[in-house]
Each structure stands twice: as C-alpha cells, then as structure tokens.
Structure 1
Amino acid sequence: SEWIHGDSLQMIRNPFWYGWEEMGDVVGNIEVINGVMIEEVSTAFALYENNEIDTSGVPLEMMDLALAGEYGDEFVIAPSNCTYYYGFITQKPAVSDPRVRRALSMAVDRQTLADDILKGGQIP
C-alpha cells in the first residue's frame, strides 16, 4: 500500500487474491506487514535486540554466538536464493590465461569458504 524508497514499505493483504475461497483459514491472519529499509545488518540487529523490529539478519561478527546457541530458538537459518561470486581483473598478465583462472577456481575450498568465512549455512 505504501513504499518510500530507501525508507519503508507497507504491504496489505490482497482482498482480490483468487485463493481465499478455496484455502479458507489456512492462509493465515496477517493483515498488514510494515518493513523498514536498513542498510547495515549491525544496525538492524541492534534494533532487533531492542525489540524495535521483529526480524533481522545476524552480523558476521556475531554469527559464531548465534551458531553456538546464544539466541536459542530465535536464530533460524533459512534457505534463500542468492549467488556469490568473487571476481578479479582478467586483463592482468598473471591471470590472462583461462587455464590459470580455471586452476584458481578449482583450488578454492568452497565448503570452508561457506562454513568458516560466510558462516550462513550456504551450500557451495
């Protein structure tokens, strides 16, 4: 119902959705969702800890605490669709050969990168 670029978003239940009649009460009872746009995950997390927002990501520097159970059942790792890539300038002589770039790609330990660096439950 309202969107203020870079600030906030308000979504209301769609009364014209085709599934109301056939789905009945199964679809839930949320009428309005209010969202705020927060650029820094650490800011969002501080707001979450102060009960000013209902959900937040976890800053990377706090991820070890979250994974260790510090936040109990409040911490949930949920799947998301995203792609990470690490790029570099291929015109440099050291990496201009496609075979060198392929060897670098093959040398990356994706599981360790996901588990120990990104720490978000990513699947390599």
Structure 2
Amino acid sequence: MNWSDEIRDNILQLRADALSGGTITFYTPPKPSIGAAITTQTTLIEIEIPTGLTAASNLLSVTLPATAVLADGVANWGRINDSSHAFVADGTCGNKISSADFRFRDTTLVAGAMLTNVTCTFAEG
C-alpha cells in the first residue's frame, strides 16, 4: 500500500511522541525477548533523547547529545524507552554497512570514550 503523506507523517509523529524525552540504551549480549527485563547484560551507554520531536515530510531526524561510554564491551542490541521509562522498541546493533537497526562505526565501545555526532533517522515507507 502507498499511504498519503499526511498518514505517513502521522505515523512518524506517533513515533516522535514515544521517543521524545526518552532514552536509547545499548547493551552487551544476550538480547532478551522483546521488551523483557534486563538481566545479565551490561549497560554500555545511555543516551537521552531530546523532547519536542516533530515529524515532517515523511522524515523524523533526531540529533542526540554527545554521551560518555559507561563500560567496555561490544554493543549487541539497544532499547528505546519513553520518558516514563516504559518500553518502546528493541533493535540490533551492527557496523555502518550492516542492516542492523543501530549502526556504529565500531560496535566495540570503550569506557570513558565519547559517542558524538549521533543522528537517528526514521522514515515511513
């Protein structure tokens, strides 16, 4: 189906509202079931998502603040929570040329290093 621009923007705005003021957190393996509790995974980095996100022209682009890596490890998966810490989405991590949901220059993260120039882009096809 090919949805109208208005419907696609409305769908993206629902995502923007869910993300606004929330967090993206990256973890070591294993990746739990969708939305399940974090157990043995190490939190590598937690990035705060700005508030007031707006989707327009079939695009939601979010620039995230520079954030320090908390622990050494390989980013295997990430979780997005909303501003009340409720589950929104889980996704896989990979390198820039992968088909992963979250793409890194290098998934091996080092404690104290700064993750900078992070942009998230969502489009509704």
Output the TM-score relative to the length of structure 1. Answer: 0.22
User: Comparing both structures, which one devotes a greater share of its residues to strand?
Assistant: 2
Higher relative contact order by CA 8 Å / sep ≥ 6: 1 or 2? 2
Output the TM-score relative to the length of structure 2. Answer: 0.22
User: Comparing both structures, which one devotes a greater share of its residues to helix?
Assistant: 1
The structure with the larger Rg is 1
